[in-house]
Structure 1
Amino acid sequence: MGEVFALRAGEYRARIDRIGAGLQELTWRERDLVWPYTRGEGPLAFQGQLLAPWPNRVGSGRYTFQGTGYRLDVNDDATGSAIHGLVNDLEWVPLEESEEAVTLRLDFAGTSGYPFPLELTVTYRLGVDGLSVTTAARNTGAAEAPFGLGFHPYLTLGTPLHELAERGEVTVEATVGSYQPTDSRLLPAGDPVPVAGSGFDLRPPARELGSTVLDTAFTDLERDADGCAWVRLGGPGHRVSLWCGPGFGWLQLFTSDTLGGGLHRAHLAAEPMTCPPDALNSGRDLLVLGPGESVERAFGILAEQL
């Protein structure tokens, strides 16, 4: 069994990492749509990673669930938080594989900081309309389990965003209604605020990215007839679009400003999430799975010629 699964359909190609079930690469007409990685050099900054059993940050790595306190390892020193879950460095098992799709499974036994066993499956599928990613989580334990899910692709136009922005050649839009204010540790500070009249109003029509800095969680997502919310990153000749299906009620956008060197402001992370930062503490939109209960969520990425 290989460590990487290569998919192809029409003008799209993808590579899926058996470790972490991450999205290593997605191309269209031989153009990168996401910031790619290989195991020899990455992933960096969680590029392409599946985030479970929580996305984003847990403040100080501590939370309480049903009256019991738990402590997670802090792995984001800058904010003193536990970030992006526990499964991105684990080996997943392939269940089905074809030229267009692969399904991977992880039997997660839990840890001392998160003692809730789960069965996770993810299917990556390519088609003429791009990539779809469907993930299911099932509580295999005897007690209720707190759960959140997210993904961390970085959308790219092939040229660093800061270079395109200097020439006025990059636009962004997102069907978002509110944003989450944060404190200095990027943890929630108060309730979500409407984007109208703020610097975070990314609603259509598309606006120039310019000098806008984002490391921001959005909610109250506006959805199309299929129940999907959208992020669209436009450049010269084409745009990269990400859709979030029902149940992904949050979307984190990150303009990579805190990354160093050539990665600074090079790509746009667009992260579908079922819950906001620190949901294990706040409980906001946190899923609670009963024994044997499961949940499924989907998102996708595609390219569009302009």
Structure 2
Amino acid sequence: MFKVTIADRQYRTYILADEAGQSCLEVVPERGGVITRWQVQGQDILYLDAERFADPTLTVRGGVPILFPICGNLPDNQYHWQGKTYHLKQHGFARDLPWTVVDQSAEQQASLTLELVSTEETRRLYPFDFQLLFTYRLQGDRLTLHQTYTNRSADPMPFSAGFHPYFAVQHKGQLQFQIPASEFQDQRTKTVHSFSGQFDFEQDEIDVAFMDLSSPVATVTDPTRSQRLILSFSPEFSLLVFWTLKEKAFYCLEPWTAGRNAMNTGDRLLHLDPGQSLATEFTLQAKFG
């Protein structure tokens, strides 16, 4: 049996549940449309820093933040477009703004659709009119995030998009990765290194990008939890970013359509013609046993 219910907490929270599939999902539209919890068979798949989440002046560290209209950061938080300079903070503004619930369903699956549209505030940072429709679908051990990006401007709209999922982990050194790439670029030093399936978790921070993916599927196995996590994504997500901090019980494996500073370099930047829409999908599956 599928259900969509609402909990009135500090932020109104929508709870999607699949009782037969023993899974549930929590989404907070007003806090950037973020997923804050995903449970399968009673186990939390995601990490959430509850203290940061409770403070509206801080960005959310945990769950599944939405990245738009940029992924990563810009030099001095600036980009240049048609002779003008604009300012955008890291990962853009979608994760900071309130989203609107436009649909929900508990038939055949539990689903929730959120909308974000351009405003005077967003046009000051990003001079385009847009509509984003994101639908979260929960069924059994599978979570599907479906996105539709629409350009409502009179000019072609450049953007990049992505997700920043924080996965809960206790013993990082036990993790086994199957990432469809043989090398990565260190995001800080810009050096390229070969990848054999392991990371050096003794580093204080790991921040790397897998730039040349041979497949739209990645897998992370956590033997300490008997968990296998499968990520699959549309081809528009052309790179995967891996990020973690040594003392924190999370790791991030993030599908991005373009890398840092794409608004200035144009590398892998997506463009939508006026009136055009683009549909993409990101699916997570958590298997146990």
Query: Shared fold by TM > 0.5?
Result: yes
Q: Indicate the SS of the match to 1:112.
A: helix
Aligned residue pairs total 266
The Cα offsets for residues 160-188 of structure 1, whole Å up to 9 and x where unpaired, read as x35xx3xxx3323312244234445xxxx
In the alignment, structure 1 residue 116 sits paired with structure 2 residue 128? yes
User: Which 10-residue stretch deviates more, 42-51 or 266-275?
Assistant: 42-51
Scaled by the length of structure 1, what TM-score is found? 0.79
Letter of the aligned partner of 2:47 in structure 1? Answer: W
Please list, as runs of the form range in 1=range in 2, the aligned pairs for 1:218-237 lying within 5 A after superposition: 218-223=210-215, 228-236=216-224, 237=226
Residue 3 of structure 2: aligned partner: none
**1:37 offset after TM fit, Å?**
5.5
CA RMSD of aligned residues (A): 2.4
**1:208 offset after TM fit, Å?**
7.3
Residue 34 of structure 2: aligned partner: 22
Q: 1:106 aligns with which of 100, 116, 120?
A: 116
Q: Does the 8 Å CA contact 2:176/2:222 hold for their aligned counterparts?
A: yes
Please list, as runs of the form range in 1=range in 2, the aligned pairs for 1:1-306 lying within 5 A after superposition: 3-9=12-18, 10-19=21-30, 20-36=32-48, 39-40=53-54, 44-45=60-61, 47-65=63-81, 67-73=82-88, 82-99=89-106, 100-109=110-119, 110-157=122-169, 159=170, 161-162=171-172, 165=173, 169-183=174-188, 189=190, 193=192, 198=194, 200-202=195-197, 207=198, 210-211=201-202, 214-223=206-215, 228-236=216-224, 237-257=226-246, 264-306=247-289
- Runs of 4 or more consecutive aligned structure 1 residues displaced over 4 Å after TM superposition: 207-210
Residue 78 of structure 1: aligned partner: none
The Cα offsets for residues 230-272 of structure 1, whole Å up to 9 and x where unpaired, read as 1414232223332222211111110223xxxxxx231111111
Quick one: distance in 2 between partners of 1:222 and 1:290? 28
Quick one: distance in 1 between partners of 2:283 and 2:125? 31
Q: Does the 8 Å CA contact 1:105/1:122 hold for their aligned counterparts?
A: yes
Scaled by the length of structure 2, what TM-score is found? 0.83
Q: Does the 8 Å CA contact 1:175/1:222 hold for their aligned counterparts?
A: yes
Q: Indicate the SS of the match to 1:111.
A: helix
Quick one: distance in 1 between partners of 2:62 and 2:141? 25
Q: Indicate the SS of the match to 2:228.
A: strand
Identity %: 24
Letter of the aligned partner of 2:287 in structure 1? Answer: E
User: Which 10-residue stretch deviates more, 110-119 or 6-15?
Assistant: 110-119
Quick one: distance in 2 between partners of 1:127 and 1:256? 31
Greater share of helix residues, 1 or 2? 2
Greater share of strand residues, 1 or 2? 2
The Cα offsets for residues 19-73 of structure 1, whole Å up to 9 and x where unpaired, read as 21111110111111111365426754364211101111111112223x3232215
Gaps of 5+ in 1: 74-81, 258-263
Q: Does the 8 Å CA contact 1:170/1:209 hold for their aligned counterparts?
A: no
Quick one: distance in 2 between partners of 1:233 and 1:68? 47
Quick one: distance in 2 between partners of 1:106 and 1:175? 32
Q: Indicate the SS of the match to 1:255.
A: strand
Letter of the aligned partner of 2:104 in structure 1? Answer: E
**1:214 offset after TM fit, Å?**
2.4
